Amino acid sequence: MVHGVASGTVLFEQGDVPNFQLIVLAGSAQLFGRSAKGREVLIEAVRAPDLIIPAAVLTGAPYLMQARVPEPSRFLLIHAAAFRAAVEADPLLAHAVIGSLAQQFRRMVRQIKNLKLRTATQRVGCYLLALSQRQRTPNKVVLPFEKMLIASELGITRESFSRALSSLSNSGIRVDGQIVVIHDALRLAAECGFDPVTDGPETDDFVIRSTEVAEILDSG
């Protein structure tokens, strides 16, 4: 089933048992973790094309995060039991899903390294440089979320994010609302410790397209 979803829709809650495997065909979904006291942080954004937490669907375990939609998006929904049966029966589909899991694991390792090995200012600088690569605009970036959410994803407060941006003005950036101009990317990379292996985009060999999973299921 293909569904169009409005901005602000909650796809599932933390603790829910998966009923479907969701695949992002267009748009994105944000994954939030919540503490027992209600504190909420953005763990990551899943962008098209990608599978949303296939590990929970394959194991039948409860979701460890809530999923919300920040923009009008389109999702492919496959019943969880049917998805598990198809993965078990079809080696090509299993290979594609393993690739997606591997890609998500690498993203988590990158995030952990970023949190444990860098200061708040370095995290923000590397985030801007990685975002400029993803947006293919080396001299500027458009912040994709409100600054509070980006700060949450980077493991810092909104105030720390603002201070980091202010500090990085000495490294060649200028902030104008949601647009950040990068005057000297090489200087920013050197001062923030940008690492192409950790911060650069994945190669095409690691990117698993959602359409590949859908085509395999359709052909079966």
Tens of pLDDT, residues 184-214:
999 999 999 999 888 887 654 444 455 566 6
Closest Cα to residue 14, out of 51, 68, 82?
68
**CA–CA separation, 30 and 7 (whole Å):** 11
Q: How far apart are the first and last CA of the chain?
A: 16
CB proximity list for 130: less than 8 A, separation 6 or greater = 194, 199, 200, 201
Residue 151: half-sphere exposure toward Cβ, Cα within 13 Å: 13
Sign of the CA dihedral with 72 first, then 73, 77, and 80 last = negative
Q: What is the pLDDT of residue 202?
A: 67
Q: What is the pLDDT of residue 206?
A: 43
Per-residue model confidence as pLDDT tens digits over 101-116: 999 999 999 999 999 9
Q: What is the pLDDT of residue 220?
A: 59
Neighbours of 151 (CB within 10 A): 23
Calculate mean pLDDT across residues 39-50.
91
pLDDT > 70? residue 122: yes
Q: What is the pLDDT of residue 143?
A: 93
The answer to whether the CB of 158 falls within 8 A of the CB of 148 is yes
Q: What is the pLDDT of residue 171?
A: 87
Calculate mean pLDDT across residues 76-81.
96
Calculate mean pLDDT across residues 27-35.
94
pLDDT > 80? residue 43: yes
- pTM here? 0.81
Calculate mean pLDDT across residues 62-80.
96
The answer to whether the CB of 91 falls within 8 A of the CB of 36 is no
Q: What is the pLDDT of residue 204?
A: 46
Q: What is the pLDDT of residue 69?
A: 95
